[in-house]
Amino acid sequence: MALAAPPDAKTIDRIADKVFSGGRVSSEDAIALFYHPNLNDLSAMADHVRMRTARYLGSHEAQDDEGAVSETRPIVTYVVGRILNYTNVCWMRCKFCAFYRPPGNDEGYTLSEDEILDKVADTVEKGGTEILFQGGLNPKLKVDWFEDIFRKIKVEFPGVNLHALSPAEINYVAHISKLSVQDCLKRLKEAGHESIPGAGGEILVDRVRELIAPYKDKTDEWLECMRTAAALGMRSSASMMFGHVETVEDRVEHLQRIRDLQDECGPFRAFVAWNFQPEETALPIPRKASAFDYLRTIAVARIYLDNIDHLQLSILTQGPKIAQIALRYGADDFGSTMIEENVVSAAGNKFILNETEFRRLIQDAGYDPKRRNTRYELVG
């Protein structure tokens, strides 16, 4: 991200005073912070908001893996889970996606019921509690297909959390099943669907969405799906994929749409941002977003999204070293160990670590690792 003229010191001091006194920053403030070159200032502000906003407030006596109390440290959470990509068949042809195959392609697949249940069983055997169930917009899969497999998962593995289907998938399933989004979600919820991942948000600015995914749901459709889910008692996460054709102003507009909806009906438990991975996609860009841009972006997100409890970092795209640094830029959650992941990995990017490695990285960064479930309840 090329920096415009940086804001003057008085502007940054004014924003910092607002942050440290518990005030809410404006969109104009957020834009100024994106153009502020001093990452240490952003880190200080974001870390302050993280300690104020994350539900696990303050510090706790940290124990090593033998149970001995070592020192007092703030908590960083993580979840043990699997991204279960049930199909890669998708007609939408998003330019940023290297995972999908169009209907009729020889490389397209849809997992069988047995294959899905075997993957869930493997997740449970490895201590996992979360199944992030996502795929493509496959015209052969209507609502009854999802109801059937969700029920079977919950009967055999009642302790598993089904964090499933992006708004784009839900909107499409409702459409081809001739249902309203509300009725579709009601049926899915009754079958065991518990919460919705924020995938498909990319950048919630229609000008950008037209450039990177012209056939995908529009901003208001994505938000309305989350609003409808919240009314049914289903919680979600929010996300942002940045570093492609969007501007700084687009990023801030995206954050504003997320914050406004959270003020309205509180659908989001957490926010996660990652930078676009261009390899093997149809969306060429001059260069990938840098680690500095990533840290700047999550810091501004943490400062701006003062009404969302948790900020999850993206170890999958950033790797372990930047993930550790990100804990000082507002992140309080390490995300999922991801027993399996195929979408980002399809673009050649793969930092998939196990629970032991997660715990070591968190401890080495000066925090107390705590395992959670999808609801951000501490477990184990």
Tens of pLDDT, residue by residue over 251-262, are 999 999 999 999
In a domain, 15, yes or no: no
- Cα-to-chain-centroid distance, residue 190: 24
pLDDT digits (tens, 9 = 90+) for 225-261: 999 999 999 999 999 999 999 999 999 999 999 999 9
Going by C-alpha positions, the residue among 225, 222, 242 that lies closest to residue 234 is 225
**CATH number, domain containing residue 120:** 3.20.20.70
In a domain, 30, yes or no: no
In a domain, 288, yes or no: yes
**pLDDT above 80: residue 114:** yes
Residue range(s) defining the domain that contains residue 316: 59-371
pLDDT digits (tens, 9 = 90+) for 174-203: 999 999 999 999 999 999 999 999 988 899
Residue 105 confidence class, pLDDT cut points 50, 70, 90 = confident
pLDDT digits (tens, 9 = 90+) for 257-295: 999 999 999 999 999 999 998 888 878 888 889 999 999
Could you give the number of structural domains in the chain?
1
- State residue 260's pLDDT score: 98
- Write out the chain in H/E/C secondary structure: CCCCCCCCHHHHHHHHHHHHCCCCCCHHHHHHHHCCCCHHHHHHHHHHHHHHHCCCCCEEEEECCCCCEEEEEEEEEEECEEEEECECECCCCCCCCCCCECCCCCCCCECCHHHHHHHHHHHHHCCCCEEEEECCCCCCCCHHHHHHHHHHHHHHCCCCEEEECCHHHHHHHHHHCCCCHHHHHHHHHHHCCCEECCCCCCCCCHHHHHHHCCCCCCHHHHHHHHHHHHHCCCEEEEEEEECCCCCHHHHHHHHHHHHHHHHHHCCEEEEEEEECCCCCCCCCCCCCCCHHHHHHHHHHHHHHCCCCCEEECCHHHHHHHHHHHHCCCCCCEEEECCCCCCCHHHHCCCCCCCHHHHHHHHHHCCCEEEEECCCCCECC
Quote the tokens at residue 11: 């502007």
**15, 228, 233, 258 from 265: Cα distances, Å:** 27, 10, 10, 11
List, in order, residues 6 or more apart from 231 with CB less than 8 Å away. 182, 265
**pLDDT above 80: residue 344:** no
Quote the tokens at residue 183: 């009725």
- State residue 57's pLDDT score: 44
- State residue 214's pLDDT score: 87
- State residue 346's pLDDT score: 40
Confirm if 113 and 119 have CB atoms less than 8 A apart. Answer: no
- State residue 68's pLDDT score: 58
- State residue 348's pLDDT score: 45
- Residue of 105 and 119 predicted with greater confidence: 119
pTM, two decimals, is 0.91
pLDDT digits (tens, 9 = 90+) for 5-33: 789 999 999 999 999 999 999 999 999 99
Please report, rounded to a whole number, the percentage of residues in the chain having pLDDT higher than 70.
91
**pLDDT above 70: residue 3:** no
- State residue 363's pLDDT score: 96
pLDDT digits (tens, 9 = 90+) for 57-87: 444 555 555 655 555 789 999 999 999 999 9
In a domain, 343, yes or no: yes
**89, 96, 175, 237 from 109: Cα distances, Å:** 6, 20, 22, 27
Average per-residue pLDDT in the chain?
A: 90
In a domain, 82, yes or no: yes
List, in order, residues 6 or more apart from 25 with CB less than 8 Å away. 15, 18, 19, 33, 303, 304, 306
Angle of helix 9-20 versus helix 27-34 axis, rounded to 10: 120
- State residue 20's pLDDT score: 97
- State residue 55's pLDDT score: 63
Going by C-alpha positions, the residue among 356, 295, 256 that lies closest to residue 30 is 256
Confirm if 46 and 267 have CB atoms less than 8 A apart. Answer: no
- State residue 350's pLDDT score: 58
In a domain, 357, yes or no: yes
In a domain, 214, yes or no: yes
In a domain, 259, yes or no: yes
